[in-house]
Amino acid sequence: MKKVLVFAAVVEAATGLALLIVPSILGQLLLGEQLAGVAVSVARVAGIALIGLGVACWPGPALVGMLTYSGLVTLYLASIGVTGDLTGVFLWPAVALHAVLSILLARTWLGDRLGSAAACGLIN
């Protein structure tokens, strides 16, 4: 079962990477239509989500998958806002929310890692 989960994680992460890098081409190959306009941004966010899912399903803590998603979507949405391509009313609040979530997830992940290291006697 573990091999199947790892395989699925790799497939989803690869699909997510393709959606992030070449969303229109993948849209053409999957749906028979090139993606345009806002669909490209939505496809990229979906790609980031698939990368996060792939990381979450990889052996290791699922928390890292959510941290991956939240951190990457923070950066992507902020880049959209900075370039001014698409700026809805909730864009910057969404960036702020994901930034806060990323910080909280990172602190939790680092705390877990430090706690494990301390339990193993690696740090005092």
pLDDT tens for each residue of 105-119? 999 999 877 766 565
Read off the pLDDT of each residue in 2-7 and give the average, rounded to a whole number: 86
Separation CA 62–CA 21 (nearest Å): 24
Separation CA 39–CA 59 (nearest Å): 32
pLDDT cut 90: percent of the chain above it: 65
Separation CA 78–CA 106 (nearest Å): 19
Q: Are 26 and 19 in contact (CB under 8 A)?
A: yes
Q: Are 40 and 26 in contact (CB under 8 A)?
A: no
Separation CA 116–CA 119 (nearest Å): 5
Q: Please, which pLDDT band fits residue 124 given cuts at 50, 70 and 90?
A: low
Q: Are 52 and 15 in contact (CB under 8 A)?
A: no
Listed by start position, the domains of the chain span 2-119
pLDDT tens per residue, range 48-74 = 999 999 999 887 788 999 999 999 999
* Collapsed DSSP state (helix, strand, coil) of residue 121: coil
Task: Examine the pLDDT at 122 and tell me if it is beyond 60.
Answer: no
Separation CA 109–CA 103 (nearest Å): 10
